[in-house]
């Protein structure tokens, strides 16, 4: 018996020694770059920099303050270069050669959203993107305005129930965005598709927990093991939410497959129509169709919910801009009996200030906070200086728009909320690529115009019905966690006071 124990101990020692040797060899042969960064430790690199979870905007601002527009990090032996300057963002994102996001982050996201545009490798991504691009054509989006207005009314009804008491704004906006996604992109009645396993607040909390868990999986790769992940309460909660999303996607596919014909011939198809044909014929493998529906559901709803939440919080903290926006809405919609009508494209075109508020919100808190790319060849970056740095092939490049958007040489007094930056007389005064809230280049956000329209209509509907009062500080917004979208660590809570105007008095049911 002792002999077997001795053999087991010897085997364990040799396995551990072999593992350490491999890790040490990988560390000794790691790629090098002449860029500043924090001191490293053997084998683990800079992982201790991210010991405190979640990783927030403040952490990345601190790294940028210490090391500049090009920051070198090692996550184990893997070289990561953080990129902030728009010259480098342009060089990285506007080339067709650098479209692969790498496996380091996408493996974690794939656990959450499956295989789709967000997570696919470059080869399969091109196939999916070619199929999906036409489903977000402007001709289709014009037909979604009424549905977006219904979403705005849905949120308004939920907020009106509070009677002006302090409440979280993310849950009702998130649920409204999901309903809109079902009725527009999917083309089905949301009342027949909405998952009933979670309440409104639970869905919002599950989304935030999922984003936080994905971030932890990225920084701590061993957590990407599903067995280990399921041992944690957050992991079990993530898989429960993922199962609900997957069931929703399969239900959409089943309903579409049961159709016998497409009906009237359309020049433009919606997403589900493009991916699944009547009778059940699918243009992609079933798991990829399911993954694409979940990918776009998450990307098209969470980003809307969090952007509207940030915008309302900023307007509550800056009542002068809230009043100015409300005056613009009054100028466009009037104060007669139809003042609460659904916005038309012509109305939206006149809402220049509301549009600039959306843009300024996305400058401070961009929809796409991190844009990863794998360097498929050696390339030169500058960090905005005359000295160029050679970045070796295989490096994980991470463009950080929230840093780019706050560079003072392009946006003076960058921490200040100032929508006037985006009014007509300021257009073209900044670097052409200093503003990229939805990404840039071939792999930018496919639904960026969808999101802009929806956010603008939601704000137009809500600001005509409520005055928003703050219940927090600007510093609370900066304490936002980084994942494939931003999410505030401290929930955004506001007092939503119904407006008493001749218009709303005549339409109490819409307030």
Q: In what order do the strands lie in the sheet with 78-83?
A: 70-75, 78-83, 396-399, 371-374
Cis upstream peptide for 456 (omega within 30°): no
Per-residue burial over 83-118, b if 16 or more Cβ lie within 10 Å, else e, is: bbbbbbbbbbbeeeebbbbbebbbebbbbbbbbbbb
pLDDT 10s digits, 327-373: 999 999 998 778 899 999 999 999 999 999 999 999 999 988 899 99
How far is it, in rounded angstroms, from Cα 120 to Cα 492? 32
Half-sphere exposure in the Cβ direction for 341 (13 Å, CA): 15
Going from the N-terminus, what domains does the chain have, and what CATH number goes with each? Answer: 30-510 (1.10.630.10)
Which residues, 6 or more positions from 333, have their beta carbon under 8 angstroms from its beta carbon? 339, 340, 341, 343, 347, 464
| Contact yes or no for 297/178 (Cβ under 8 A) | yes
CA 387 to chain centre: 33
Res 426: pLDDT? 56
pTM of the model: 0.92
Res 360: pLDDT? 97
Structure tokens at 403: 């840093």
Residue 300's nearest CA partner among 188, 173, 479 is 173
DSSP string, 461-492: HHHTTEEEEESS-HHHHHSEEESSSEEESSPP
Which residues, 6 or more positions from 447, have their beta carbon under 8 angstroms from its beta carbon? 136, 296, 299, 300
Which residues does the chain have with pLDDT short of 70?
1, 3, 193-200, 260-267, 424-430, 501-511
Which residues, 6 or more positions from 114, have their beta carbon under 8 angstroms from its beta carbon? 246, 287, 290, 291, 292, 294, 295
């Amino acid at each position: 018996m002792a002999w077997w124990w001795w053999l087991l101990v010897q085997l364990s020692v040799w396995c551990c020694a072999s593992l350490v040797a491999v890790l040490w060899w990988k560390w000794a042969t790691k790629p090098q770059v002449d860029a500043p960064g924090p001191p490293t430790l053997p084998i683990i690199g800079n992982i201790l920099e991210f010991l405190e979870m979640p990783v927030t905007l403040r952490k990345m601002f601190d790294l940028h303050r210490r090391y500049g527009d090009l920051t070198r990090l090692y996550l184990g032996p893997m070289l990561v270069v953080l990129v902030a300057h728009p010259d480098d963002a342009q060089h990285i994102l506007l080339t067709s050669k650098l479209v692969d996001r790498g496996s380091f982050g996408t493996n974690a996201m794939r656990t959450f959203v499956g295989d789709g545009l967000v997570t696919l490798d470059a080869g399969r991504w091109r196939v999916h993107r070619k199929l999906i691009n036409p489903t977000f054509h402007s001709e289709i989006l014009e037909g979604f305005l009424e549905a977006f207005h219904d979403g705005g009314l849905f949120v308004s009804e939920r907020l009106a129930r509070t009677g002006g008491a302090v409440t979280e704004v993310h849950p009702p906006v998130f649920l409204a965005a999901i309903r809109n996604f079902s009725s527009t992109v999917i083309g089905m009645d949301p009342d027949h598709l909405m998952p009933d396993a979670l309440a409104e607040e639970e869905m919002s909390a599950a989304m935030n927990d999922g984003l936080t868990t994905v971030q932890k999986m990225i920084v701590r790769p061993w957590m990407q093991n599903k067995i280990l992940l399921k041992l944690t309460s957050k992991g079990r909660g993530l898989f429960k939410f993922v199962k609900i999303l997957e069931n929703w996607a399969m239900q959409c596919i089943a309903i579409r497959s049961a159709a016998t014909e497409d009906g009237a011939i359309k020049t433009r198809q919606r997403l589900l129509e493009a991916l699944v044909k009547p009778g059940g014929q699918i243009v992609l493998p079933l798991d990829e169709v399911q993954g694409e529906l979940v990918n776009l559901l998450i990307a098209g709803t969470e980003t809307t919910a969090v952007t509207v939440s940030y915008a309302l919080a900023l307007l509550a903290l800056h009542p002068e801009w809230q009043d100015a926006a409300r005056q613009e809405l009054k100028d466009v919609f009037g104060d007669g009996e139809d003042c609460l009508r659904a916005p038309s494209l012509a109305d939206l075109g006149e809402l220049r200030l509301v549009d600039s508020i959306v843009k300024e919100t996305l400058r401070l808190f961009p929809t796409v906070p991190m844009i990863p790319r794998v360097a498929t060849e050696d390339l030169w970056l500058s960090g905005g200086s005359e000295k160029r740095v050679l970045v070796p092939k295989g490096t994980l490049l991470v463009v950080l728009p929230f840093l780019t958007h706050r560079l003072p040489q392009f946006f003076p007094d960058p921490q200040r909320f100032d929508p006037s930056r985006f009014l007509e007389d300021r257009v073209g005064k900044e670097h052409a690529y200093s503003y990229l809230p939805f990404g840039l280049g071939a792999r930018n956000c496919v639904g960026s115009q969808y999101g802009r329209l929806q956010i603008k209509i939601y704000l137009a509907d809500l600001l005509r019905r409520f005055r928003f009062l703050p219940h927090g500080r600007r510093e609370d917004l900066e304490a936002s966690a980084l994942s494939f979208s931003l999410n505030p660590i401290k929930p955004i809570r506001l007092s939503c006071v119904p407006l008493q105007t001749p218009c709303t008095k005549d339409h109490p049911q819409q307030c």
